[in-house]
Chain A
Amino acid sequence: MIKVKLEKEIILKKTQASAPTQWRSFFSSAYARIGTTLFLGILIACLFGPLFLDHSYESTQLELGAQAPSYNHLFGTDTLGRDLLIRTLIGGRISILIGFLATVVAVLIGVSYGMIAGYVGNKTDALMMRFVDIVYALPFTIIVILLTVLLGRSLILIFLAIGAVEWLTLARIVRGETRNLKTQAYVEAAKVNGLPHHKILSKHILKNLISPIIVFATLTVPSVILLESIISFLGLGVQAPLASWGSLINEGAQKFDIYPWLLIFPSLFFSLTILSLNFIGDALRDHFDPSK
């Protein structure tokens, strides 16, 4: 018996090296399957759904006004008589795009910055962290207003503006954890054995940082989606009549006790996206669990 089991484990360990099997093991988790399906469903609906709809996201029908969901308008219409379904789907394209790109920017900067600060320590750490404090304290509203004036308006700028704030907290978390990990016995041992720093960082430290990074990234996406609506408010970013989930939810929240569908449908899409991302995040975390 024992022998058979051992053999199995050996086989398992060998196959772990190949990518397809890795994905198979990832998808063996129910979380991964549900999350991925849900997310791809939303993504496909946003990307291709509008092609199959007769309505336009901008054409107004003022006499119609806000109408509850009906066969013709599955999600109802907004106060200008525009179809809410197509506005939600088009808004999803923008929100998902912004959410992901800004999060990637934030994670890349935040993780590398935090790891370097935490690993090098001493004066470098102090300097780098005080820089984070300074950027954190600067008035965000004024910076965004200035950006609109200096650089005009484009989606790229939104990513920059959002990425520029979201990386700060992650940098602090990563730096704190790196400092903890650095003192672990195996890292000390690796140092003594003369392993180069970048190898220690990538092999021993990054691997153990995966959990908080994934958690933070999956929660940054919704934060960014909402932040976008605030930034658009300041004049940088998505311009009317285009909408994003953030602006739709914002508008819906002001009117939901009279026109509840204006809040419910955009919020539903937004919440399902968050849920699916967190499922995927959990599955990824288990998948990369260093103890496995």
Chain B
Amino acid sequence: MAQLILRRLFQTIPTLWLIATATFILLQLIPGGPFDQEKPVTPEVKRLIEAHYGMDKPIHEQYLQFLLNRLQGDFGPSYKYAGWDVDEIIAQSFPISLELGFYALLVALFVGVPLGILAAIYHGKRMETLFMGLALIGICLPAFVLGPLLLLVFSTELGWFNTFGWNTPSDRVLPALTLGLFYAAFVARLTRSGTLDVLKNPYIQTARAKGLKEHRIILVHTLKVALSPVVSYLGPAVAGMISGSFVVETLFFIPGLGSFFVNSAFNRDDTMVMGTVLFYAALILLFNLIVDLLHAWMNPRTQRD
């Protein structure tokens, strides 16, 4: 186990370097710069502005400087928001996204897993259709539909929740549902098929024959194996959830990281793009490592290679 973690941590450095380099190249290729506007400044002024950010140097120098700065943990100033540093922005908005993502994960798990198991238990019966229909809500109604619908019913009409903001505990409910139900659909469907696959295995038949109670069988013996695809799915999904969702943040006016992800690309805010990409990449690597550890725990034999 320790060896696996060590090996993976070792792989992290070249992986992040490749991601950074690829992103650097993409940013060089993409048309439009951070200081282009509808009313363009004169080329002379633009050159002077770019000089402040070292963008007047040859590409290879910029690249080396960029690598050097990253190594020192310096992500530089945002091109778009004067006075703000990239790490400052991430530090301000990530805790909010993390919190939202955590609640969304709870929704995904507490809605998805029970629905999936119930559907598997009632396999072939009418109830199964009901459970699976419920699970699909998050897919049939994407966030940009579900969010306004929830807001209409629970905020505008019933007045239970604020229409926007991230201030009171109740402000967490609607965004978490909007974000979480999408993932819940995947979790429920994968749980159901995983449970069905496991239930037919000989050892379950043995357990049944031994007279163990049905729910004990399912909880103790199958879940660990049945949830294996769910775990694979959740690795990158959790990284996505906690790094923020542009749609949900915009709908509910939540100051999370997701809108910086999307807007930094539109603004050509190169330093911000690089900061968010590397941050997201680190999250992905981390959660995929956790997934592999979980797999190893759930099925120790995969450890051997």
Contacts and interface: CB of A to CB of B under 8 A. Distances in A.
Assess A/B contact in the complex (Cβ within 8 A): yes
A138 B22 contact: yes
Contacts of B232: 172-173, 175-177
A138 B19 contact: yes
Contact of A211 (B132, B148, B196): B196
B305 A121 contact: yes
A226 B136 contact: no
Contact of B11 (A126, A138, A182, A270): A126
Contacts, number: 159
Interface stretch (B78-86, B161-169, B185-193): B185-193
Contacts of A136: 236, 284
Given A125-B305, A139-B261, A176-B228, 17 more contacts: A126-B11, A137-B284, A139-B265, A139-B273, A139-B276, A142-B265, A176-B229, A180-B295, A180-B302, A211-B193, A214-B193, A215-B190, A218-B189, A219-B186, A271-B136, A271-B141, A291-B200
Contact of B26 (A138, A183, A271, A289): A138
Closest 4 CB pairs of A and B: A137-B281, A176-B232, A183-B301, A291-B200
A283 B293 CA distance: 33
A130 B192 CA distance: 29
Which range contains the number of B residues in contact with the other chain? 35 or more
Interface in B1-26: 7, 11, 14-15, 18-19, 22-23, 26
Interface string B194-210: 10110010000000000
B236 A169 contact: yes
Given A142-B26, A214-B193, A137 B228 contact: no
B265 A130 contact: no
A211 B197 contact: yes
A278 B189 contact: yes
Contact of A138 (B145, B189, B228, B277): B277
Contacts of B136: 271, 274-275, 278
A201 interface: no
B140 A267 contact: yes
Interface stretch (B27-35, B41-49, B95-103): B27-35
A257 interface: yes
B285 A133 contact: yes
Contacts of B228: 176-177, 180
A200 interface: no
Contacts of A134: 15, 18-19, 22, 281
Contact of B140 (A145, A172, A263, A271): A271
B26 A143 contact: yes
A171 B265 CA distance: 27
Contacts of A43: none
B33 to A, nearest CB: 13
Contacts of A204: none
B288 A129 contact: yes
A122 interface: yes
B266 interface: yes
Interface string A213-232: 01110110011001000000
